[in-house]
Chain A
Amino acid sequence: MTPRTLFDKVWDAHVVHQYPEGAALLYVDLHLVHEVTSPQAFEGLRQAGRRVRRPERTVATVDHNVPTGDRTLPLADPVAARQLDALAVNTRDFGVELFDLASPRQGIVHVIGPELGLTQPGMIVACGDSHTATHGAFGAFALGIGTSEVEHVLATQCLVLSKPRTMEARFTGRRAPSVTAKDLILAFIGRIGTAGATGHVIEYTGDAINALSMEERMTVCNMSIEAGARAGMIAPDETTYSYLAGRPRAPGGPAWLRALLEWRRLPSDPGAGHDARVSLDASAVAPQVTWGTSPAMVTDISGHVPSPADFASDGERQAVARALAYMALTPGTPLEGLPIDRVFVGSCTNARIEDLRDAARVARGRRVAAGVRALVVPGSQQVKLQAEQEGLDGVFRAAGFEWRNAGCSMCLGMNADVLRRGERCASTSNRNFEGRQGAGGRTHLMSPAMAAAAAVAGRLVDVRDWEIRDL
């Protein structure tokens, strides 16, 4: 039999029908739904008199536009409130489970899926959100879709897709202390560019990937979309299984053992070929910071703001000049020492428990610099609860960070958590596009430890120079 990749195996197991024109009809195991990209899809079902084909494979939560402040108060934004109400009505009318603002399980859709044990190896997971790639950390094929496709999955439990190509991203070597999964993926995107993996599913392999925890693997897979990939995947192993064991929606008893047998067959066969290969020496990666308006505009914290003249093509030179004007940066400026106004620790990239611990180890016994406003927004109410049980909220509060409720928050600024024009932010999120965190706001992406250190120093700093404290 021809050796197959992890992706080939997941794909083959989900083909319901192969169309003569080349596309395949694929079965979706898990469909995650949130308030922003679903209302028009449910409305479409209603107008056509269609039902949700598999409500039990569909799970909804509210995350994008929700306030992260006091949950006992009514929503201040009536337009956002209408969108939340629409999801409540839609999930009730169509029989879909909803983790709403009152639920202790509410959180960012890509944090709660894995946390509940809903996301499992070998699945196809779809969601109307580009960071669905996160779930690929479990060896699932997890892809972001638009609202029309959300409606299509609701109605048919299937998606029509042409098979993407695959890219192996091999991360070798041992990373240095204080270098995180975020630094690895930022360095990788910096190397291949924001369209470097367009049309491909990335399979991350190598010692440096195998050594990552599930939380760290999710950070890596999450940002696959920032390299243009359709999805990112990591083969399941003992780390995956021990994370999943005992989760509320993971299989239990005899079903667990049957699942394990299936999952152990998923890793790529020896000799299975990828369409493209890229490698990265993890031991050579330093803490990363973005300087521009795309995640590929990134360099080491010890680096400098580049000059448009450093780039080869006219297009790149124009893009860099535009980015520097927007970011109010001058070529040659060292990144270390750049003053910041705001800090955001949160998002589906970096708001799981390990991320909060990383930030707390830096924040412990220190103070947020005068004039800096710093937010910690847990990825889910469960992460928040666990952090509080570990006393992390106390560490953050004592240091002057604001401790919030779960949501996407300032990653995309759909709620009240936004940058003001001209404010510069050290952020653990995934996109530094113009205006992403607020019109005119300037975002520098980095790891949670780097963001916490920036909050304390009031400027971008190299966390490798800092004493990391026990919690």
Chain B
Amino acid sequence: MNQPFVRHTGGCALLLRANVDTDQIVPKQFLKGVARTGFAAALFHDWRYREDGTPNPEFELNRPDAAGATILVAGANFGCGSSREHAVWALAEYGFRAVVAPSFADIFEANCCQNGVVPARLTDGEVAELSRRARAAGPAYRLTVDLEARRVEDGAGFRAPFAIEPYRREMLLRGLDAIGRTLLEEPRIAEFEGRRA
């Protein structure tokens, strides 16, 4: 059960590299836990920290402008590679409510929707434009991801629609329990099993 997501306004962090894989989002040494929590410190670990464990000031999320960001603006094919849902748990626990990118890997996109994190796909040009605006405006820049209207906007002239599968949008908007919803179809599942037996 996730909290419903209708629209969210927040600061954004820019991580404009293509093909960021889930091994980068949460390296494997943090996958040995048995809980869904405790992953915020692992987020982008090998990029975020230097070898001596101190924060790497060069890394995008460590820049002052990215402090307190709740929307991640990323490059194409974000979340490729391993199916580890830990990647989304880490992003959510760190504070991200939405990821805006030109494209997502399929499993990562599905995992986002299971955890109340909205994956908003914009065009390359739109991501470039909003990144330009975010850089120009600095830490005061605010972005709104409006799931109800399927739109990303900054209240200062940037407005772009995004597509999302209707079933997933419905689940996110209402914060529904996916298993609970499927269990409503129990008679159909039983009937299907009976037919095939």
Q: Give a binary string over B67-99; 1 marks a CB under 8 Å from any A CB, 0 the rest.
A: 000000001110011111110100000000000
Interface residues of A in 139-155 (CB under 8 A from B): 144-149, 151-152, 155
- By beta carbon, the residue of chain B nearest A315 is B18
Residues of the A chain whose Cβ atoms lie less than 8 Å from the Cβ of B111 = 146, 148-149
Name the one of A144, A147, A194, A431 contacting B77, with C-beta atoms under 8 angstroms.
A194
- Min CB distance, A176 to chain B, in Å? 30
Is there contact, CB below 8 Å, between A431 and B81? yes
Pick from B88, B170, B182 the residue with the most CB of A within 10 Å. B182
Band of interface residues on B: 35 or more
Q: Give a binary string over A352-380; 1 marks a CB under 8 Å from any B CB, 0 the rest.
A: 00000000000000000000000000000
Name the one of B23, B32, B36, B77 contacting A40, with C-beta atoms under 8 angstroms.
B36
Q: Give a binary string over A7-43; 1 marks a CB under 8 Å from any B CB, 0 the rest.
A: 0000000001101011101010000000011011001
- Min CB distance, B173 to chain A, in Å? 12
Residues of the B chain whose Cβ atoms lie less than 8 Å from the Cβ of A151 = 179
Is there contact, CB below 8 Å, between B81 and A412? no
Query: Is B115's beta carbon under 8 Å from chain A?
Result: yes
Is there contact, CB below 8 Å, between B165 and A22? yes
- Min CB distance, B191 to chain A, in Å? 8
Is there contact, CB below 8 Å, between B85 and A37? yes
Residues of the B chain whose Cβ atoms lie less than 8 Å from the Cβ of A278 = none
Query: Is A160's beta carbon under 8 Å from chain B?
Result: yes
Is there contact, CB below 8 Å, between B17 and A318? yes
Residues of the B chain whose Cβ atoms lie less than 8 Å from the Cβ of A436 = 23, 28
- By beta carbon, the residue of chain A nearest B35 is A40
Residues of the B chain whose Cβ atoms lie less than 8 Å from the Cβ of A128 = 83, 85
Top 6 nearest A-B pairs by Cβ distance? Answer: A148-B114, A146-B85, A39-B34, A23-B167, A146-B111, A21-B166
Is there contact, CB below 8 Å, between A148 and B178? yes
Bound complex: CA of A412 vs CA of B36, how far in Å? 21
Is there contact, CB below 8 Å, between B182 and A145? no
Bound complex: CA of A230 vs CA of B80, how far in Å? 11
Is there contact, CB below 8 Å, between B106 and A230? yes
Is there contact, CB below 8 Å, between B105 and A228? yes
Name the one of B31, B115, B182 contacting A36, with C-beta atoms under 8 angstroms.
B31
Bound complex: CA of A86 vs CA of B166, how far in Å? 36
Q: Give a binary string over B103-137; 1 marks a CB under 8 Å from any A CB, 0 the rest.
A: 10111001100110000000000000000000000
Is there contact, CB below 8 Å, between B80 and A194? yes
- Min CB distance, A233 to chain B, in Å? 15
- By beta carbon, the residue of chain A nearest B186 is A156
- CB-defined A-B contacts under 8 Å, sample of 25: A16-B192, A23-B165, A23-B168, A27-B189, A36-B31, A39-B33, A40-B35, A77-B32, A82-B34, A83-B34, A130-B82, A149-B114, A160-B178, A194-B19, A194-B80, A195-B80, A198-B77, A198-B106, A322-B17, A412-B82, A414-B28, A414-B31, A433-B81, A434-B23, A439-B27
Query: Is B146's beta carbon under 8 Å from chain A?
Result: no
Interface residues of B in 158-176 (CB under 8 A from A): 165-168, 170
Bound complex: CA of A144 vs CA of B183, how far in Å? 22
Bound complex: CA of A183 vs CA of B185, how far in Å? 45
Name the one of A77, A155, A225 contacting B179, with C-beta atoms under 8 angstroms.
A155
Query: Is B46's beta carbon under 8 Å from chain A?
Result: yes
Is there contact, CB below 8 Å, between A195 and B77? yes
